[in-house]
Chains A and B, each alone.
Chain A
Amino acid sequence: MIRFLCRRALLGAVVMWVVATLVFILYFVAPHDPAHLIAGKDATTQTLADIEARLGLNRPIVDQYGSYLWRLLHGNLGYSYFNSEPVSTIVGQELPVTASLAVGGAVLWLIMGVAAGVLAATKPRSLADRAVTAFALFFYSMPTFLLGLLFLLVLFYRLHLLGIDIFPGAGYVGLSQSIGGWAQHMVLPWFTLALVTGAIYARLTRGSMLDVLGEDYIRTARAKGLSERRVIFRHGLRAAMTPVVTEFGIDLGTLLGGVIVTETVYGLPGLGQQIYNSITRQDLPVIIALVILASAFVVAANIIVDAVYALLDPRVRLT
């Protein structure tokens, strides 16, 4: 198992290096003009020259590549073109927001989705099953931003009109400042993110569990006299989890997209909003930093997913 993880980690490091290099090639070699971007439209030639010298844009590419990698490894992510703040500071401020949203949302959707799916599968055709499938279909068809909007409209505004102020409309309160405030501000974003994806997982788990529960070895377990709970959880769920884990691995990549939308709707000052703004503003250092960060996240998450796979299915450890 350790060797398996080491191999994966090594592979991950290689992927990261490739990503960093690709990003470098794309943005440093492709035609663009950072000096103009920083200085603005009315900059003098002197200003432009100064900026170029400061950024080291005159040096040979290999040289730039070398210092680029060096700085990366030291955590120096450069300075934003937009407001000249160190990118690491920006990231430092906004990462907790996105992390809160992403992790909270992911945990929530996993729990909700799997629980709902198991419930529906173990009581087929019952009211619970129909309810779960109806809700799953409903949320599954709903775009994330629409759900966010509806939440804001109903749970925030309408309740606010009625004098009930549980859910805040926007903004973020740091965990370190106030746990209650943090949770309160995150509830709606979490559910927005989680309900849509959770519906997918509910469907998936339901289908997978139904398939597994129909297998002969489940019948055998029951015939042996095992308690129903043991049959479902120990035997059934374990086998049914594989497609769910696969899906989770895929969703990690798209999680980043979902985060962007949710942050935009709720006005959360996180990395999702940041990357959107940076791309439209062509703020290259920030873009680079975020792309690399995103890749690191995906790579790390995939290693974790692979580890879970290996736990669930011992055959995987041999590859």
Chain B
Amino acid sequence: MSVYDELQVEALPAAPAEPGGFQAQAIEGKSPWRLAFERLLHDRVAIGSSVVIVLIAAMAVFAPLVAALTGHGPDAQYHGCPPPLRCIAGVTPEGIPVGPSGHFWLGADELGRDLLVRVFYGARISLLVGISAAAFAVGGGVVLGMLAGYLGRVVDTFLARLFDVVLAMPYLIFAIALWTALSGRGGVLLDIGVISFFSFGAVARIVRGQVLSIKEKEYIEAARSLGAGTLRIMFVDIFPNVLAPVIVYFTLLVPSAIVFEATLAFLGIGVQPPTPDWGSMLSESINYYQVAWWYVVFPGLALLSTTLAFNLLGDSVRDAFDPRYNRMFAKET
């Protein structure tokens, strides 16, 4: 930028709007959000993974539709009937699940339930828990992180230690213990609560670090010199600068929460049978994987696709906000 820019700035008149004439627009600067969003739109990986996520969400939303179409409810068991009658059997009399067939597109489980329908319904739990737990963790983490960072000293020391302790706790053990203490009640809410609790520490730590570095910047001092109060500075000046890494972390927290929930369900914690859940399906499948590969593959595929899609999206989002980031699948430049 040279001195001449300044001269031009002062001399520039607003050109009159004429048909056919050149109109000097008041050029709106693009906010960093807009820039990031546009970068995202041109990112094939981001588009691909977003499509997958939309599909999974569609699975969750349209699960009842699929149940209606196939005629099988998510909890309906098809044990077949003795010879004179004819009805569908999802499981043989010996207890072996039926594989993918005309009746059961993805096969059935050990109780004769339609796996296709159950996998679709399973998406509900995963997405619900994943997104809400991530949202709560981020919400709590941002608030506490900002408090710790800005208020400093005693508050900060105490909170920072808290974050560290929570982060270091073996969360699975505590989740198990909590579930037992509640005598096996709680279901989805327990999942969301536990996952949020053990995830907020990471968010808070990041936010705190950001706030600590922003706090020293001169524009914060400028705001104070203008007479701005603490709250105003936090909301207007600090928060927008904190938001970007938080959003990135959110997109990475969702798959982590989904995996956490599936693991809990796998161990029999949280969501209880007969509620369809990918984790509990996989848990049952351990006993049948030798005779029913579909029982492992289809829920597993659904779970893996979901987490992969979110992780890829998170990677793209991070790149959109910070082009210097050494992303995983960079385009050749």
Contacts and interface: CB of A to CB of B under 8 A. Distances in A.
Contact of B328 (A137, A260, A275): A137
A257 B285 contact: no
Nearest to A209: B326
Contact of B329 (A133, A145, A294): A133
Interface stretch (B32-40, B68-76, B167-175): B167-175
Given A145-B266, A153-B293, A137 B286 contact: no
Contact of A261 (B266, B297, B310): B266
A21 interface: no
- Name which of A140, A144, A252 has the most chain B CB atoms within 10 A of its CB: A140
Interface in B84-117: none
B34 to A, nearest CB: 27
Interface residues of B, number: 41
A257 B304 contact: no
A279 B177 contact: yes
A217 interface: no
A257 B308 contact: no
Interface in A117-166: 124-125, 130, 133-134, 136-138, 140-146, 149-150, 152-153, 157
A125 B332 contact: yes
B139 to A, nearest CB: 22
Interface stretch (B19-27, B232-240, B242-250, B255-263): B255-263
Given A261-B267, A294-B170, A149 B312 contact: no
Contacts of B312: 137
A280 B180 contact: yes
Given A130-B329, A145-B263, A150-B300, A140 B311 contact: yes
Given A150-B296, A153-B296, A142 B304 contact: yes
A145 B277 CA distance: 14
Secondary structure type dominating chain B contacts: helix
B176 interface: yes
A260 B311 contact: no
Contacts of B53: none
B214 to A, nearest CB: 21
Given A141-B255, A206-B326, A256-B173, A298 B289 contact: no
A253 interface: yes
B170 A257 contact: yes
A47 interface: no
A189 to B, nearest CB: 14
A184 interface: no
B304 A260 contact: no
Contact of B289 (A153, A250, A254): A153
B146 interface: no
A140 B303 CA distance: 13
Interface string B289-307: 1100100110010011001
A57 B62 CA distance: 56
Of B259, B262, B329, chain A has the most CB atoms within 10 Å of the CB of B259
B162 interface: no
B282 to A, nearest CB: 6
A193 interface: no
Contact of B170 (A142, A256, A276, A279): A256
Given A143-B263, A256-B173, A210 B326 contact: yes
A142 B263 CA distance: 11
A141 B286 contact: no
A137 B316 CA distance: 13
B61 interface: no
A100 interface: no
Interface string B310-327: 111001000000000010
Nearest to B169: A253
B176 A279 contact: yes
B170 A149 contact: no
Interface in A249-290: 249-250, 252-258, 260-261, 264-265, 275-276, 279-280, 282, 287
Contacts of A152: 286, 289
A146 B312 CA distance: 19
B285 A254 contact: no
Interface in B148-172: 167-172
A145 B263 CA distance: 7
A211 B326 CA distance: 8
Contacts of B267: 260-261, 264, 276
Given A146-B282, A149-B286, A261-B263, A137 B311 contact: yes
A12 interface: no
B292 to A, nearest CB: 10
A144 B263 contact: yes
Given A137-B315, A143-B263, 16 more contacts: A138-B308, A143-B259, A145-B263, A149-B285, A152-B286, A250-B167, A252-B168, A253-B170, A256-B172, A257-B173, A260-B176, A264-B267, A275-B173, A276-B267, A279-B176, A291-B173
18 contacts: A140-B311, A142-B304, A142-B307, A143-B263, A143-B307, A144-B263, A145-B266, A145-B279, A146-B304, A153-B297, A249-B168, A250-B167, A253-B171, A261-B263, A275-B173, A279-B173, A287-B177, A294-B170
Interface of B: 167-173, 176-177, 180, 255, 259, 262-263, 266-268, 279, 282-283, 285-286, 289-290, 293, 296-297, 300, 303-304, 307-308, 310-312, 315, 326, 328-330, 332
Interface pairs A-B: 7 shortest CB-CB = A257-B172, A141-B307, A133-B328, A256-B170, A253-B168, A210-B326, A141-B308
Interface of A: 124-125, 130, 133-134, 136-138, 140-146, 149-150, 152-153, 157, 203, 206-207, 210-211, 249-250, 252-258, 260-261, 264-265, 275-276, 279-280, 282, 287, 291, 294, 298, 302
